[in-house]
Amino acid sequence: MEPRIDVYDDYAAQYAEYVAARNRAGVAGDPLGILPRMLDLLGDLAGLRVLDAGCGEGYLARVLAAGGAQVTGIDISPRLIRLAREQDSGGASDYRAADLCAPLPEYERYFDAVASYLALNDVHDHRGFAGTLGAVLKPGGRLVLALNNPYSYVVRRHVADYFASGVPYPYRGMAAQGLKVHFYHRTLEEYLDAFFGGGLRLTKLVDLGTVVDNAHRAPIDTLLPAGYRFPYFTILAFAKP
């Protein structure tokens, strides 16, 4: 049986608590080291229409709005969307629940930029997701997304067979805190091909070094020998011709 695609809805409050450290830390203090690099690649967004793809409880959307962007946050979980709205009392951003793996014709060529923070691994149809993001971008628009590095899943012993694409696995760190959510393992080649198929051109690939001291690290991740470093996370930047 295929896992439910909207399972985050069951754990919305717990997930918001799990990521609360990111909200408290601010941009420079992102405990995963992702946000500063994403913002550098996105550039000046003041006055631009920006989609936060897989926005969750609105962490990235709030940062983008603070930078002057006109943000639309979309997530498959209605409960996470409700939490995002509650944390945006001034109504700086627009939020809606929808499956980004399905087409959104009302937003075709609507956004100047798209950003996505650790959502790609969670989507049940990475080709549909990539196709939707490509379709909603204006020509000349840019897409920047962060993901768990698929090679690191093997190095950190989440996954035994790198090429066993599409298999769902539990997130160890979140499972240890009672969040029974999963990711879909896919190869980096498959991710890139999906976005190329969506009409996008790769402009930058960033590997982020191993995070040493953060609460998301499971004990088994200490299996790397002392002094070894490996990218836990990768950022992909694309442009739409």
Which residue range is the domain that position 165 belongs to? Answer: 7-235
pLDDT digits (tens, 9 = 90+) for 160-217: 899 999 888 878 777 777 778 888 999 999 999 999 999 999 999 999 976 544 444 4
DSSP bridge partners of 117: 146
Strands 70-75 and 168-170: unpaired
How far apart, in whole angstroms, are the C-alpha atoms of residue 179 and residue 111? 32
Q: Look at the chain and report how many structural domains it folds into.
A: 1
* Residue 1 is assigned to a structural domain of this protein: no
Q: Give, in order, the Cα–Cα distances in Å from 31 to each of 21, 82, 126, 220.
A: 8, 25, 26, 19
Q: What is the pTM of this model?
A: 0.91
User: Which residues make Cβ contacts (< 8 Å) with residue 88, sequence separation at least 6?
Assistant: 58, 61, 62, 65, 95
How far apart, in whole angstroms, are the C-alpha atoms of residue 36 and residue 73? 19
Contact 181/18 with Cβ under 8 angstroms?
A: no
User: Which residues make Cβ contacts (< 8 Å) with residue 117, sequence separation at least 6?
Assistant: 34, 35, 38, 52, 54, 56, 59, 60, 145, 146
pLDDT digits (tens, 9 = 90+) for 119-145: 999 999 999 999 999 999 999 999 999
pLDDT digits (tens, 9 = 90+) for 13-71: 888 888 888 888 877 788 888 999 999 999 999 999 999 999 999 999 999 999 999 99
* Residue 241 is assigned to a structural domain of this protein: no
* Residue 21 is assigned to a structural domain of this protein: yes
* Residue 28 is assigned to a structural domain of this protein: yes
The CATH code of the domain that includes 119 is 3.40.50.150
The burial of 165, by beta-carbon neighbours within 10 Å (0-12 exposed, 13-18 middle, 19 or more buried), is given as middle
* Sign of the CA dihedral running 105, 107, 113, 119: negative
DSSP bridge partners of 53: 74
